[in-house]
Amino acid sequence: MANQTPRVELSGAAGRRFLLPLALAQFICSFAGSNMNVMINDISEDLDTNVQGVQLAITLFLLIMAILMIPASKLTDRWGRKRCFTAGLVLYGLGALLSAISPSLGVLILGNSVLEGVGTALLIPPVYILTTMAFSEITSRAHAFGVISGLGGIGAAAGPLIGGLITTAISWRAAFIFQAVVIVAIILLSRRIVDPVPPEPERPFDVVGAILSAVGMFFVVLGILQADRNGLLMVVFLAVGAAFLAGFFLYIRSRERAGKEPLLSTGLFKNRTSNLGLATQNAQWLILMGTSFVVAVYLQEVRGYNAIETGAIFTAATLGLLVSSFGAERFARKRTQKVLILAGFAVTLAGIGLLIGLVAAWSSVVAFVPGLLLIGLGLGVMLTPSVNVVQSSFPEEQQAEISGLSRSVSNLGSTFGTAIAGTILVSGLTTGAYALAMASLGLVAVIGLVAALALPAQLGRQAVAR
């Protein structure tokens, strides 16, 4: 972002009008990643497929978001942030409409996984870049990130509930119509958003780097999905993915040394605080999406619950996220970012423990409520601090890069959650497989807790904001 223009700090009604469409965009994209979990039986019967087929569609949606987030973030400099945001919304809306009329799993994958995935990758980086540029003051930026991250978490947690209501009352296809309607509303609400920095059409774009990173991440996730099917293929795909990612890193380093602009600056990985923040983000979304998929599939395939019954159980997680998200700003004034992230992982880990222990010991559906409530509370407390730690660790001229990397890491966590925990569950579809899948998410929570412990002790309430 070489071109710099004076900015006016937004506040009051103007700030709310600016933030509303951006926060709604994060909400609907997160909603799309989890609402299909409660439609598995309905979609399988309607499109003549199975659990693995629907899991593939969900995972591909999350994966396409992840692999294209970094390239799309770089395109915001070249094409403009508002233009990328609008283009992403239009593409997403078309994908939702195509999904609603899909006659087969292949068409559903084209609409939901491909078009909605690409659209999301285009529109999400501008959400965070525009917010960073519009809210430069410490408190207002933290509040803005809190609203966006909170709505994102609520969208993911409420996805099963809203999706279940719509599926039971009308049809699973109507859930995609709902998404298209929300997209139209966002487009109308965002008409007055003005890009504060003009685009740079002549700015170079690293095509080779984009291909290497995308192919590498694709094969890594594809390898994970083979875990319960073909061990040899799993190893091969994981090795191919690792090789491409290693090649990507070597390529961008050589491009930097040659004085050319790479897809992603290696300097982004030299900020220890940001790296730890990215690790916590990845773990948070892995747990959120993994829990959503595992619990939803278990309830439908093992317990025999329908869409609305499954969705209703997730009300506990949604309420937890709502309560902690609404209190995020008050918490941030009293506690440091590090303390909030640590507390979030501790509460989330306790919730996972309850989801394993109570469900094993108690056949009632009430056994799911305490664990989901704690997971919602824990995630709501720490989503915003993690985003703020990462975004605010870099100056404005690097916001496009770090926004893309941050969103990519988060969405890769979502993908891993559905792929890893989901694959463990689908391999057995028993109470034992459910417990093992949830235990894998508990291990991720422990890793996130360790990463949070390693955050700088001096990371205070305002230390990371610029």
Would you say residue 200 lies in a domain? no
Pick the closest to residue 188 from 17, 365, 312 (CA basis). 17
Number of C-beta neighbours around residue 337 at 10 A: 28
Predicted TM-score of the model (pTM) = 0.80
- Residue 6: the pLDDT is 43
**How far is 293 from 345, CA to CA, in rounded Å?**
19
**How far is 351 from 373, CA to CA, in rounded Å?**
7
Which residue, of 238, 262, 286, is where some domain finishes?
Answer: 262
In the structure, what pLDDT confidence band is assigned to residue 375 with cuts at 50, 70 and 90? Answer: very high
- Residue 241: the pLDDT is 92
Percent of the chain at pLDDT exceeding 70: 92
The answer to whether the beta carbons of residues 424 and 297 sit under 8 Å apart is no
Would you say residue 199 lies in a domain? no
Would you say residue 429 lies in a domain? yes
131, 254: one domain: no
367, 439: one domain: yes
- Residue 3: the pLDDT is 44
Number of C-beta neighbours around residue 44 at 10 A: 18
Q: What totals of helices (H) and strands (E) does the chain contain, helices first?
A: 19, 0
Measured CA distances, 205 to 2, 79, 185, 202, 211 (Å):
15, 11, 32, 9, 12
| DSSP annotation of 436 | H
Percent of the chain at pLDDT exceeding 90: 36
**How far is 213 from 247, CA to CA, in rounded Å?**
9
Number of C-beta neighbours around residue 443 at 10 A: 12
Would you say residue 42 lies in a domain? yes
185, 138: one domain: yes
258, 274: one domain: no
90, 231: one domain: no
Which residue, of 218, 239, 262, is where some domain finishes?
Answer: 262
Pick the closest to residue 71 from 254, 215, 256, 244 (CA basis). 215
- Residue 400: the pLDDT is 63
- Averaged over 397-404, what is the pLDDT? 70
- Averaged over 284-290, what is the pLDDT? 90
| DSSP annotation of 365 | G
419, 297: one domain: yes
Q: What CATH code is carried by the domain that includes residue 96?
A: 1.20.1250.20
Would you say residue 410 lies in a domain? yes
In the structure, what pLDDT confidence band is assigned to residue 396 with cuts at 50, 70 and 90? Answer: low
52, 139: one domain: yes
**For 150-178, what is each residue's pLDDT tens digit?**
788 788 778 888 988 999 899 999 999 99
The residue ranking higher by pLDDT, 335 or 273, is: 273
Per-residue pLDDT for 141 more than 80? no
Would you say residue 407 lies in a domain? yes
**For 302-315, what is each residue's pLDDT tens digit?**
888 888 888 888 88
In the structure, what pLDDT confidence band is assigned to residue 225 with cuts at 50, 70 and 90? Answer: confident
- Residue 431: the pLDDT is 78
- Residue 368: the pLDDT is 92
In terms of C-beta density within 10 A (0-12 exposed, 13-18 middle, 19 or more buried), how is residue 53 classed? middle
- Residue 412: the pLDDT is 79
Which residue, of 239, 262, 285, is where some domain finishes?
Answer: 262
Would you say residue 5 lies in a domain? no
- Residue 108: the pLDDT is 95
**For 102-134, what is each residue's pLDDT tens digit?**
999 999 999 999 999 999 999 988 998 888 788
75, 100: one domain: yes
Per 3-state DSSP, the chain is made up of helix, strand and coil in percentages (nearest 5) of 80, 0, 20
95, 212: one domain: no
69, 134: one domain: yes
The answer to whether the beta carbons of residues 418 and 87 sit under 8 Å apart is no
105-114, 117-126, 275-284, 388-397: least confidently modelled range: 388-397
In the structure, what pLDDT confidence band is assigned to residue 234 with cuts at 50, 70 and 90? Answer: confident
Total number of domains constituting the chain:
2
CA atoms within 13 A on the CB side of 182: 22
97, 179: one domain: yes
Query: Domain containing 387: what range?
Result: 15-194+263-453
150, 65: one domain: yes
